[in-house]
Amino acid sequence: MIIFPAIDIKGGKCVRLLKGNFSKVTEYKKSPLEQAKEFLNLGFQNIHIVDLDGALKENPVNKNIIKEIAKIDKIKIQVGGGIRSLDHIQKLINFGVDKVILGTAAVNDIEFLKSACDKFYNKIVLSLDVRDGYIALSGWEKQTNILAVDFIKKILNFNISRIVYTDINKDGTKTGPNFKETINFSNLAKIPTVISGGVSSIDDIVKIEKKDAPNIEGIIVGKAIYDGNINVNELIKII
């Protein structure tokens, strides 16, 4: 089980949103670079980073910050937000990013997703941000009528490294992840899947480790760390 502490970047700062609402933003004191270094010093080697500005503008915005984080020795970062072209992907990989997350562009253009998977072997992560079972795009502001379980059937033969499955209604709420829906999805996809949204305590992480969920690869932890609901020193012990 990989635990991914999350860094969401907006305006050059670490922030967390409530249910993906850009009008409900909490800012934190540490810079993204400082926070990444702190996570590494605590013992976390995998970090989930989202360029929220990039997601809104459909073009990576906080590239310089991501580049500096990628330079940190012994750290693996997966990065998403506004990535819309093979050139965007190539630049991030050149920075030293471990995996690149595609969301809106992948759903809107399946052929682009396939081309990215073919060109960048084992580097592409598919992000599915889901609200009541249906995929949302463009920083969660555009709601589609595409069921996540229907979409995944179209791309099962693609070389997708992993899927990040985010329950938008849970994100930032600290009310516990949507285990049932995510596990059911992972069983259908049969692709390593990362749970995202709603983690409230270490108990949530222990619960998923105890479940029969062979395709669950990891879990993303965000607001519960920043707000002190999870003691990171205890969390690192269960990695």
Residues whose CB is less than 8 angstroms from the CB of residue 210 and which lie 6 or more positions away in sequence, other chains included: none
Q: Which two tokens stand for residue 190?
A: 């049969």
Q: How far apart are CA 93 and CA 116, in angstroms?
A: 12
Are the CB atoms for 56 and 176 separated by under 8 Å?
A: no
Q: Among 53, 98, 129, 171, which one carries the catalytic annotation?
A: 129
Rounded to the nearest 10 degrees, the angle between the axes of helix 110-119 and helix 86-95 is 40
Q: How far apart are CA 38 and CA 46, in angstroms?
A: 12
First to last CA, the chain: 7
Q: Which of 8, 53, 98, 204 is catalytic?
A: 8
Tell me the pairing of strands 2-10 and 13-18: antiparallel
Q: CA-CA distances (angstroms) from residue 72 to 46, 47, 95, 155? A: 12, 12, 11, 33
Tell me, yes or no, if 8 is annotated catalytic.
yes
Angle between helices 63-70 and 86-95 (to 10 degrees): 40
Amino acid at 223: K
Cα(201)–Cα(84) distance, rounded to whole angstroms?
Answer: 34
Q: CA 211 to CA 40: how far, in whole Å?
A: 28
Is-catalytic flag, 227?
no
Catalytic residues: 8, 129
